Structure 1
Amino acid sequence: MKKTNKKGRGPQKEVQAFLSDITLLSSIPINKKFSKQAVPEYPFDEQLLSLSSIYRTSRKLFLKQGGSFVPRVCSTMRSLSSPDLFQSELQFSPLASEMTWFKDHWQEVYDPEVLVSAMTAFNQISLYHEQNHRILWNLLPRAPEEQRDFCRYLNFAESLVITLDLILGDQIGKKYSDIFERLKSIYRPAGADAWSLKSSEQYRQYLLAVMYVSYLALELVHHEDIPKALDYVLPGQKKINKDAVERGLELSELFTLNTNLQWQKRYWKQAQEQLFLYHKNSKEDVHYLPEDPLDFEEEFVIAQRVLNYFLDEKS
């Protein structure tokens, strides 16, 4: 006999929160002119394409360089255990239809908490974040060979991808970005500050500051030393720097102290070899990040180039 949920039973707290989240995101108006870029069965992809120009730009650039998507159940641990940040094929768990069905039929599920837990566990990969890693390699100069130099290079690349995550959160806005972040469609929500609403020049300065703070966090600089370092390399913008430190240090310490370090320790050599092949035809010189992060200079030029590439591209 088929087991069904008891009639009239209300959802438990975690189920209620999940239902509330997916119901609100499902209500976001979809702009059909962007639907051609949508990835079938990737949850709320059309909504994100409709809300954010940088999300559309990232998708466009990724597809333009030959990127593709494969619907295949993918856990966070399997994703993190892969050394390949350069493969143009991205996997994701195809859960859009399942979430839509659950929203309307959760009372027919005997244990809705179990299904919510499963959907949450296998919907942890942000395609936007992963796309940007692949796009970025085309924009960066060649990488060094020695382990410590190469890991600094990786941390710089990660700080740029994190900055792009923040832009996406800002464009989506507070109403929806916290929910998208809870569902792991994006990794960072909108900021509490209002720099994204200021002039383009001020926002760029803020983004450069947040990028630098993120890099220092990844390099495991003591948090109490970061404000002074930021004021030294980007002087004359105290208010921007104060807000940038607060937002930059929202980066998960589980990631900076564990995940990132363990991944680099385990896979740096494979990644270095793959990136060497990726850049074998590059005419740019090898880029060595300074041992002392107070000597950041050319890195801000590279970061501006990346921001221009993403923000100036018509989507």
Structure 2
Amino acid sequence: MKKTNKKGRRPTKEVQDFLHDVTLLSSIAVNKKAAKQAVGEYPFDEQLLSISPIYRNSRKLFLKQGGFFVPSVCSTMRSLSSPDLFKNELQFSPLASEMAWFKDHWQEVYDPEVLVSGMTAFNQISLYHEQNHRILWNLLPRAPEEQRDFCRYLNFAESLVITLDLILGDQIGPKYSEAFERLKSIYRPAGADSWSKKSLDQYRRYLLAVMYVSYLALELAHHEDIPKALDYVLPGQKKINKDAVERGLELSELFTLNTNLQWQKRYWKQAQEQLFLYHKNSKEDVHYLPEDPLDFEEEFVIAQRILDYFLGEGS
């Protein structure tokens, strides 16, 4: 294969890395049965369905509740500027064929780095993450009305979705998950620790700990205070907690300090009204998260229920 393009120069590191990731992920064997639920033109959807049970189950649950997908060029900023986390319609940029073509024909492109930059800019949305948000609203109790209470509720929901992201990364494993993350098919890679390979009970305790750390990070707790808080609410598992803090605090500070805060300030009222309509027939009581996160208790029960739903009660 030629190592230069029509300009006669070698590809930039950005192009080389992109080609490496696309080639690696394209090599994953596709299970035809699992891939029946694949979204056409969503990059590497067939591969993810083939190798991850939770990815398959999430898709099944989303489709079961009437979810559907619309191919439409979609930037990160347009996605983040939408107040609607409750519609069962998810948009994505249909780039699978473009990526596959570029992998085999990049030498024919005059400025391959420009095309890579464009594909990267418009392939920033993880359908798995977004559909999990929609699934969760059916599983969570009713939301409170007052702004601060409601924002705590949103942060709790986000911490649960983040935990599901981590499970997906763990199931994919280190060989492929970092490439999937770089191409934004997933948001979090496999953990450097080994708790996903331990007993089911240990892994569950680890996931609850990471969920709590993620919640504290979203609530803008001082990072130095988080280890003590975690040891207080989940005592007797210091090694699990130590690793959970490390992984939980990998959460982007750009997201916690900017994106999440700005979205809530701008859209919390619209979101609260939409969620009220969403839950209008719910028989559950309104759930108020504790003002002091050291009082977390019922939240762990809810989180266990969510994990049961996505993973199965025996997982």
After TM superposition, the score normalised by the length of structure 2 is 0.97
Q: Distance in 1 between matches of 2:112 and 2:35?
A: 31
Does residue 282 of structure 1 match 2:282?
yes
Question: Displacement of 1:36 after TM fit?
Answer: 1.2
Q: Deviations over 1:72-110 (max 9, x none)?
A: 000000000000000000000000000000000001111
Is 1:156 aligned with 2:142?
no
Which residue number in structure 1 is paired with residue 12 of structure 2?
12
The question of whether the paired residues in 1 share the 8 Å contact of 2:15 and 2:113 is answered with yes
Find the counterpart in structure 2 of residue 299 from structure 1. Answer: 299
> What corresponds to 2:118 in structure 1?
118
Q: Indicate the residue corresponding to 2:23 in structure 1.
A: 23
Q: Take 1:5 and 1:212, find their aligned partners in 2: how far apart are those partners?
A: 49
- Alpha-carbon distance, 1:13 to partner: 1.1
State the partner residue of 1:48: 48
In structure 2, how many angstroms separate the alpha carbons of the residues matched to 1:250 and 1:221? 14
Contact 2:206 2:241 in 1 (8 A): yes
Distance in 2, matches of 1:173 and 1:67, equals 28
Q: Provide the residue aligned with 2:241 in structure 1.
A: 241
The residue type paired with residue 36 of structure 1 is K
Distance in 1, matches of 2:106 and 2:51, equals: 28
Whether the 8 Å contact between 2:7 and 2:110 is mirrored in structure 1 is no
1:10: how far off? Answer: 1.9
What does residue 167 of structure 1 align with? 167
Residues of 1 paired with 2:272 and 2:167: CA distance? 28
For residues 9 and 293 of structure 1, what CA distance do their matches in structure 2 show?
56
CA distance in 2, matches of 1:43, 1:218: 29
Deviations 1:167-225 (A, max 9, x none): 00000000000000000000000000000000000000000000000000000000000
Structure-2 residue corresponding to 1:79: 79
Question: In angstroms, what is the RMSD of aligned CA positions?
Answer: 1.2
1:290 counterpart SS class: coil
Map of 1:184 onto structure 2:
184
Distance in structure 2 (CA, Å) of the matches to 1:83 and 1:43:
25
Deviation of the 1:6 alpha carbon: 2.2
Q: Which amino acid aligns with 1:61?
A: L
Count of aligned positions: 311
Structure 2 distance, partners of 1:109, 1:287, is 55
Q: Tell me if the contact between 2:6 and 2:109 (Cα under 8 Å) persists in the aligned partners.
A: no
Change (3 A) 1:91 1:181: same
Please report the TM-score for the alignment, with normalisation by the length of structure 1.
Answer: 0.97
Unaligned runs of 5+ in 1: none
Residue 139 in structure 1 maps to residue 139 in structure 2: yes
Letter in 2 for 1:222: H
- Alignment check: 8 A CA contact 1:57 1:313 kept: no
Q: 8 Å contact 1:52–1:168 — kept in the other structure?
A: yes
SS of match in other structure, 2:33: helix
Structure 2 counterpart SS, 1:74: coil
Q: SS of the counterpart of 2:69? A: strand
| Matches of 1:60 and 1:147, distance apart in 2 | 33
SS in 2 for 1:90: strand
1-side partners of 2:14 and 2:225: how far apart?
39
Residue identity opposite 1:311 in structure 2: L
Distance 2:69 2:100 in 1: 21
Amino acid at match of 1:154: L
**1:40-99 deviation line (CA, Å, top 9, x unaligned):** 000000000011000000000000000000000000000000000000000000000000
CA distance in 1, matches of 2:246, 2:178: 17
Preserved contact between residue 68 and residue 88 of structure 1 (Cα < 8 Å): yes
- Deviation of 1:34 after TM superposition, in Å, equals 1.1
Match of residue 207 from structure 2:
207
Distance between the aligned counterparts of 1:230 and 1:12, measured in 2? 44
| Alpha-carbon distance, 1:9 to partner | 3.1
In structure 2, list runs of 5 or more residues that go unmatched. Answer: none
CA distance in 1, matches of 2:84, 2:292: 29
- Report how far residue 313 of structure 1 moved: 7.6
* Whole-angstrom distance in 1 between the partners of 2:256 and 2:20: 31
Percent of pairs with identical residues = 90
After the TM superposition, list the runs of 4 or more consecutive aligned residues in structure 1 that deviate by more than 6 angstroms: none
Could you tell me which residue of structure 2 aligns to residue 224 of structure 1? 224
Query: What is the distance in 1 between the residues matched to 2:7 and 2:271?
Result: 54
User: Matched residues in 1 for 2:273 and 2:227: separation?
Assistant: 35
